Chains A and B, each alone.
Chain A
């Protein structure tokens, strides 16, 4: 929503989020190093750095990937979404430490370029136990790098939300490459069942939560059957079922619509936040503006526009109220079109 960019728009919540994150990472590092020194004391400091940074980066990546589906399954997890961006950049830093130290330790001591060595030191692509896993990690790191350098809102605006979202969805490709990198790399040398269980368990958790949230969404959409149609208005809800200053999301005629009740009025806008596609219906009307539950982007309910001097706009929809029932016309009005709020009379 930024009319003026800043490095980081700090607020109390973000500082608290980052403090908890730093504390958790510190404990992760301490725990991993101590356990490593106890059970495998023979490794060098470089190896310890490589393994610790990999452990922290992979743990953070798993955590980052489960936040989205967790929040969709249970709104109590929504606060975790709020500053996920800092988690992502921190994860990249640990992944970069792992990548750089690995290249220095394993590829920089010969007489060929270290990057070339990543690709040519092992070319057994047909093998499983000796697969050149470094290449998988290298490409995953490139994706994470592109994501980290474009994590600011400046990039969301200038690369366009569609391109930006597409770029950041590549995290799933990076995750797949990393899982394969771990499975064909370290797990081939550390033949320990516990490591395999941790890898399969974390992958199963990420995949399982995504499937569960997709199933919930699909199930919800199937319940969205509105047949009472008059002049292209569909009966979708009752006035009473929407609490004051709250919204209700509906899916009708391929339109994702959020209906809000505020100041004894009703308005409807597109349910998808222009920032990062957050579900607006799960947010609230704060100081007269619909406020996205993910990052606090705001829109005026009557015209779907962000309050001046911001520029974001949503499609709006026509509503009608009859005998306490809400009717909506699913044909969207152009973004930012004023639609007079419907007064609730009874």
Chain B
């Protein structure tokens, strides 16, 4: 695998995670309690704990949020 190919993969992964981080901040502020009722009134330490996972699995939560909204 060439340097260019690895750099391209790293950029794609980086962009995906950046998009995930932006989504996760919005989701933690406005969407979490709608998607998972058990998360109502949870602390910021809990939200901080799930933040890295949201950055990775954000697409799943985006789809869940859209489903709840519709």
| Chain A residues within 8 Å of B, Cβ to Cβ | 2-7, 112-113, 115-116, 119-120, 146, 149-150, 152, 154-155, 157-159
The answer on a CB contact under 8 Å between B3 and A7 is no
Pick the residue among A2, A112, A154, A155 that contacts B3 (CB under 8 A): A112
Given A115-B6, A152-B49, A152-B53, 17 other A-B contacts at CB below 8 A? Answer: A4-B41, A5-B39, A5-B42, A6-B42, A7-B43, A7-B45, A112-B3, A116-B7, A119-B6, A120-B1, A120-B6, A149-B52, A149-B53, A149-B56, A152-B50, A154-B38, A157-B38
Residue from A150, A154, A157 with most neighbouring chain B CB atoms (10 Å)? A154
Which residues of chain A come closer than 8 Å to B38, judged between CB atoms? Answer: 2-5, 154, 157
> What range describes how many residues of B lie at the interface?
20 to 34
Q: Which residues of A contact B56 (CB under 8 A)?
A: 146, 149
Once A and B bind, how many residue pairs between them come within 8 Å at the CB atom? 58
Q: Are B42 and A150 in contact (CB under 8 A)?
A: no
- Expressed in whole angstroms, the Cα–Cα distance for A97 and B50 within the complex equals 21
Using A112-B3, A155-B50 as known contacts, say yes or no to A4 and B57 having CB atoms under 8 A apart: no
The CA-CA distance from A116 to B6 in the complex, in Å, is 6
From B6, B40, B61, give the contact of A4 (CB < 8 A). B40
In the complex formed, the residue of A with least CB distance to B57 is: A159
Among the interface residues A3, A116, A120, A158, which one has the most CB atoms of the partner chain B within 10 A? A158
Across-interface contacts of A4 in B (CB, < 8 A): 38, 40-42
B20-56, CB < 8 A from A: 35-36, 38-43, 45-46, 49-50, 52-53, 56
Q: Give chain B's interface secondary structure class.
A: helix
Contacts of A155 in B (CB 8 A): 50, 53
List 18 A-B pairs, Cβ < 8 Å. A4-B42, A5-B39, A5-B46, A7-B43, A113-B6, A115-B10, A116-B6, A146-B56, A149-B53, A152-B46, A152-B49, A152-B53, A154-B36, A154-B46, A158-B35, A158-B36, A159-B57, A159-B60
Q: Closest B-chain residue to A6, C-beta based?
A: B46
Q: A113-B10, A149-B53, A159-B57 are in contact. Are A154 and B39 (CB under 8 A)?
A: yes
Question: Complex: how many Å from CA A120 to CA B10?
Answer: 14
